[in-house]
Structure 1
Amino acid sequence: MKHDSVLARSFAHHQQKRLRYGAFACCLLIPLYFCTVLRPSLNLLVWNLQLSVGVGLEMLQVEQTNSSQQVIKGKHPDQKIRTPTGLIAENGPQAETKSKDPYALPLFQVAVSKVVTKNLEPICNVLEPRTNFCQINRDVRVDGKSSTVSIVSSQMDVLAGNSPWTIRPYARKEDKKPMNHTRAWSVKPVIGDQEIPRCSRNHSVPAILFSNGGYTGNHFHEFTDIIVPLYITSRKYDGEVQFLISDLRTWWVAKFQAILKGLSNYEFLDIDKEAVHCFPSMTVGLKRHPKDLTIDPSKHSYSMKDFREFLRNTYSLKRANAIRIRDGQSKKPRLLIISRRRTRCFTNLRQITKMARTLGYKVTVEEADRNMSRIAQVVNSCDVLMGVHGAGLTNILFLPENSIFIQILPIGGFEWIATNYFGVPSRGMNLNYLEYKVSKEESTLKNDPHTTPIRGWEGFKSTFLNAQNIKLNVNRFRPTLLKALELLHY
């Protein structure tokens, strides 16, 4: 019995020692198990938490497949999305990646229903037909020396598809000629202190960056490509916005100084100069309606009526409505003839003026120039405006409502551009539009437009715009002026 008791105590001691070793081994194996087996799942969990907190994805589904590739489906065809393995999937639904991570998940398919949420929409809009622009609602640094707009950002912006963009801030992107004269700006998110430019000047109000390049110098394009888009983009700030002008023409600023001051309470900046300006938010490029001299109130909250009211206030224009003719009334309606010096001139201007006066008009003849205040006052004082198709007709913007606008079309197929550049927009300004097409006998053009070979816009311009003057047949034109008088009676 004594021997058995000693043996039992020896066995128990040996067994206890083995149990202690076994427990120690288990403690080592459990962390190893988590590292080798569960690490991919933990990575996925962490990734989902990052997406949920940092990006706000509305739905993320992970499905096991037997496919030999990893497919990332996103909202944009060129969007980049970071996967749990740390790889980048890009270029839409068929992008492929090969994992080199030994702990990578088994091959899977990720379907993303909504990658970009309300708070992380793409910064730049390049889908508009006439303009590209970037709306940046965060800390931004503008470096004129390198033509760079740096957005102080985070990795989440890259996930949201906000890669570097190149923007030419002139609102006529479909036309290569003016865009070639417009400086290109790089708009990019930056991460890390070393990449973020240091501020030379800090500003407390938002900014709008636009270009003075393009077709600046043409009165029509100055309004339709810059002034009207600038109004659409800046009006919501009620003056609390700073204008940054690239490709600056100082004479242009002098010409439109009153309008610039009416839209901004601050002096503009020549942004191409060497300095880093910092703003709390900014817009790069200008918003615009696809059609010229037009504003869609359902999209931009403003209309051409609002814009024309802004012009009246800016230039202190007195007349909001044209004259209403009544029987026995002695006051004469005013007719403004827009003249031209070099091309598409009236060669019998005195004869036209004399005929108009016999119908009861008080006639004024003016040529559009850079004195915006003067020309605005003259146009606003008139009830009927007439002129040959050209940039000077843009001044119909200053006419009182219900005025009469007569556009005279030279020969050569002006119907489309005349209608779309001035005819349709004038109706949106609440003007009465009349059109007069000159006959072959009224044009100084010797070439037959039906047999003259025309090559592109430059050929059309050199033949029908720059080589043609008009001698109106006053008897043939007389009914058009009578129609204008009739419209003023209603």
Structure 2
Amino acid sequence: MVHYQRYQLRKCGGVGEEDEEAQTLVLEFGSSGYYKRTKPKILPLLFVFSLVSCSLLLVPHLFSCFSTISLLCTFEVENDRVAVDREADAPICDSISNGSICCDRSGFRSDICFMRGDIRTKSASSSIFVYTSDTDDDFISYSLAKEGEGAEEKEEELQHEKIKPYTRKWETGVMDTIGELDLVVKKDKYGRRHHCDVQHSVPAIFLSTGGYTGNVYHEFNDGLIPLYITSQHLNKKVVFVMLEYHNWYMTKYGDILSRLSDYPPIDFSGDKRTHCFPEAIVGLRIHDELTVDSSQMQGSKSILDFHNLLDQAYWPRIRGLIQDEEREAQLRLKERVSLFPSSLSPEAGEQKQEEKEKKPKLVVISRNGSRAIMNEDAMVKLAEKIGFQVEVLRPDRTTELAKIYRALNSSDAMIGVHGAAMTHFLFMRPCSVFIQVIPLGTDWAAETYYGEPAMKLGLKYVGYKILPRESSLYGQYDRDDPVLRDPKSVNAKGWQFTKKVYLDGQNVELDLRRFGKRLFRAYDYISKKNQRAVQ
């Protein structure tokens, strides 16, 4: 693991002729990756200008921290060297020097590397290079070039790091499917570097949209929220470079990405051009399941700020949907009035709509296949009898997220059975009610992945753990079978058992008398909350 890099300049004067190494200015690059150091050659002209070259070498380092956009850089000058200003308790890679790489591999969930300087991509070899030079002095560069004339040009490799920019590094199976990037620091002796096809003035963030992408939980938990955590301090002045780029992903999440960056994302594998950046972050930070830890964020940003970003992303589209619906409603009303003039007055229609809007809105996320609520229709009727206005959503992969966001963001409560679709609690307003139906054998996952994060968002969370008799497994196993009596022992056998028995092989038939008590309490809570809001 590379904690940080440090350039150290050895003193240039006061050495004897017999000490050839000390006579030459040496740039020493330290890291826990690896580095190469070749024996310096004797350059007569370099002796004459050694003091001048030392001064010139220091100048770019002293002023490199004052670039327009700097991700990490904080330096201080200590006597005759440039050193990283690092407190004992400062986080890893809180500052790095120009022309270097720093990788933080301390996280359980992800690795992340930082690069600064002359950064250039080479997608054909899955490489990102950062170049550094011996000196910026034109005369010395000319002398080096003259000495190397006729010799094979060589870029000296100083550091080499490898990283898979995905946030589930503990899962070997899925990480084996993620493309690996080579991050390389090279010393360019003769000024021949890869040509820049596209020169960017803002930093880049390299990330993978492979792995479990395609599952809405993982798309938010492993991708979008970590991307927000990693990029929000850049105020949209950043370019996202994606490995395993998908057009459908851009269609689905383009509205969110446009709120995080002012620039179009780059398909790293598909775009063969050399892109050049002043700085880069490779990999993403991740805090916990579907949340943002404000104590680790600049400006104490939290999951509520991410929710606000979703608001900004989806409401322009939602307003368009509302306008379209209003126009269609007006046309239908005019047609009906023209056909049946006395059947319905506009005032009667408006009164009916107002009565509907006064009722608390409950959204039911319906499932097909496994973990479906078998008596869903009866449950909906019970909720309506209690006083809810009920909307049943049946989202699939093609459902426009703005439509789901609109339904949930305008709701007072949501009901759903544990599964990836519960990720949509992120679309709800704080203080809304989230009732998660928890099938047998899914207690830990339901609470960890959705229950606890929902409470961090400020939702009123209710976990409804079904009884064995409410599970379809009740008719398939003996009453004393561990599947019904001791699900933990079944889960202990491994993920495949959990998936086969409890996730893929189970449906739910709610005890409506028992479940109805939760609905009554939710209705009472919402009614009192709404009353306080109008007082």
Task: Please list the CA deviations of residues 21-57 of structure 1 after superposition, one character each: whole Å capped at 9, or x if unmatched.
Answer: xxxxxxxxxxxx9555xx38x83xx69x867xx88xx
SS, match of residue 117 in structure 2: coil
Amino acid at match of 1:244: V
- Deviation, 1:191, is 1.3
Q: Is the 8 A contact 2:33 2:159 kept in 1?
A: no
Q: Pick from 432, 445, 448: which aligns with 1:420?
A: 448
Question: In the TM superposition, what is the alpha-carbon distance from 1:433 to its structure 2 partner?
Answer: 0.8
| 2:123 matched residue in structure 1 | 144
Distance (Å, rounded) in 1 between the aligned partners of 2:459 and 2:199: 45
Equivalent residues in 2 for 1:105-116 (5 A)?
none
Are residues 1:268 and 2:247 paired? no
Q: How far has the Cα of 1:453 moved from its partner?
A: 5.0
| Contact 1:178–1:213 (8 Å) recurs in 2 | no
Cα distance in 2 between the residues matched to 1:483 and 1:212: 41
Match of 1:310 in 2: 309
Structure 2 unaligned runs (5+)?
A: 1-14, 42-81, 86-94, 136-156, 320-355, 530-535
User: What does residue 432 of structure 1 align with?
Assistant: 460
**Is 1:182 matched up with 2:161?**
no
How far, CA to CA, are the matches of 1:419 and 1:166 in structure 2?
35
Aligned CA RMSD, in angstroms, stands at 3.2
2:388 is matched with 361
Q: CA deviation at 1:84?
A: 10
CA gap 1:191/1:85 in 2 versus in 1, 3 angstroms: closer
Give yes or no for the alignment of 1:477 onto 2:523: no
Residue 432 of structure 2 is aligned to residue 403 of structure 1? yes
2: CA distance, partners of 1:194 / 1:83: 18
Name the structure 2 match of 1:375: 404
> Offset of 1:381 from its aligned partner?
1.3
Please name the residue that 1:444 is paired with.
Answer: 472
Structure 2: how far apart are the matches of 1:330 and 1:362? 8
Shift of 1:142: 1.1
Tell me how many residue pairs correspond in the alignment.
390
Report the alpha carbon displacement of residue 194 of structure 1 after superposing the two structures with TM.
Answer: 7.6
Q: 1:223 aligns with which of 220, 223, 231?
A: 220
Q: Assess if the C-alpha contact under 8 Å between 1:369 and 1:375 holds in 2.
A: no
- Take 2:36 and 2:197, find their aligned partners in 1: how far apart are those partners? 35
* 167-176 vs 212-221, greater mean Cα deviation: 167-176
Report the equivalent of 2:533: none
Contact 2:204 2:279 (8 Å CA) reproduced: yes
Query: How far did 1:178 drift?
Result: 2.2
Match of 1:282 among 280, 283, 292: 280
Paired with 2:17 and 2:132, the residues of 1 have a C-alpha distance of 33
- The correspondence of residues 38-437 of structure 1 with structure 2, limited to 5 A, is 39=19, 43=22, 117=85, 118-120=95-97, 123-154=102-133, 163-192=159-188, 193=190, 196-273=193-270, 274-289=272-287, 291-301=288-298, 302-316=301-315, 331-370=358-397, 371-412=400-441, 414-437=442-465
- Opposite residue 437 of structure 1, the aligned amino acid is K
Could you tell which deviates more after superposition, 307-316 or 480-489?
480-489
Q: Cα gap change, 1:81/1:146 in structure 2, threshold over 3 Å: closer, same or farther?
A: closer
Q: Which residue of 1 aligns with 2:347?
A: none
- For 1:173 and 1:230, the matched residues in 2 are separated by 16
Amino acid at match of 2:524: E
| Contact in 2 for aligned 1:145/1:275 (Cα 8 Å) | no
1:468 to 506, 511, 528: 506
Separation of aligned partners in 2, 1:364 and 1:350: 12
Kindly state the Cα deviation for residue 293 of structure 1 after the two structures are TM-superposed.
0.7
Deviations 1:350-392 (A, max 9, x none): 1100111111111111023341111110111111111111010
What's 2:91 paired with? none
Counterparts in 2 of 1:195 and 1:148: CA distance versus 1, 3 Å: farther
Give the secondary-structure state (helix, strand or coil) at the position aligned to 2:370.
Answer: coil
> Residue type matched to 2:284 in 1?
L
Deviation at 1:195, TM superposition (A): 7.5
How many Å apart are 1:237 and its aligned residue? Answer: 2.3
CA contact (8 A) 1:169 1:184 kept: yes
Compute the displacement of 1:346 (Å): 0.9
Counterpart CA distance in 2 for 1:221 and 1:332 is 34
Check 1:393–1:272 CA distance in 2 against 1; reply closer, same or farther (3 A cut). same
Query: Match for residue 92 of structure 2?
Result: none
Check whether the contact 1:201–1:277 (CA below 8 A) recurs between aligned residues. Answer: yes
Structure exhibiting the larger radius of gyration computed from Cα positions:
1
Counterpart secondary structure, 2:402: helix
My pick for the range that moved more, 446-455 or 349-358, is: 446-455
Hey, what does 1:61 align to over in structure 2? none
What amino acid is aligned across from residue 451 of structure 2 in structure 1? G
Change over 3 Å in CA distance of 1:351–1:303 after alignment to 2? same
**C-alpha contact (below 8 Å) 2:96/2:116 kept by paired residues:** no
3-state SS of paired residue (1:145): helix
Structure 1 residues 81 and 427: CA distance shift in structure 2, 3 A? farther
Segment of structure 1 superposing worse, 193-202 or 453-462: 193-202
- The DSSP-based 3-state class of the residue aligned with 2:159 is coil
CA distance in 2, matches of 1:155, 1:426: 53
Q: Secondary structure of 2:236's match?
A: coil
Code of the residue aligned with 2:389 in structure 1: it is K
Aligned residue for 2:11? none
Give unpaired runs (5+ residues) of structure 1: 1-32, 56-73, 87-113, 320-328
Please state how far the C-alpha of 1:334 moved relative to its aligned partner: 0.8
Conservation of the 8 A alpha-carbon contact between 2:34 and 2:160: no
- For 2:101 and 2:123, the matched residues in 1 are separated by 24
Letter in 1 for 2:130: I
Distance 1:286 1:458 in 2: 29
Offset from partner CA, 1:385-423 (integer Å, 9 cap, x none): 1111101011111111100111111012x2221111011
**Structure 1 segments (4+ residues) deviating >4 Å:** 33-36, 76-86, 114-119, 451-454
Q: Distance in 2 between matches of 1:287 and 1:453?
A: 34
SS at match of 1:137: strand
1:372 & 1:167 partners in 2: Cα distance? 32
- Is residue 166–residue 283 contact of structure 2 (8 Å, CA) maintained in 1? yes
SS state at 1:353 partner: helix
Please, what TM-score do these two structures have when normalized by structure 2? 0.67
- Counterpart AA for 2:169: K
CA apart distance, 1:207: 1.5
The letter of the residue matching 1:124 is C
In structure 2, what residue type is equivalent to 1:428? K
Query: Residue 423 of structure 1 aligns to a residue in which SS?
Result: helix
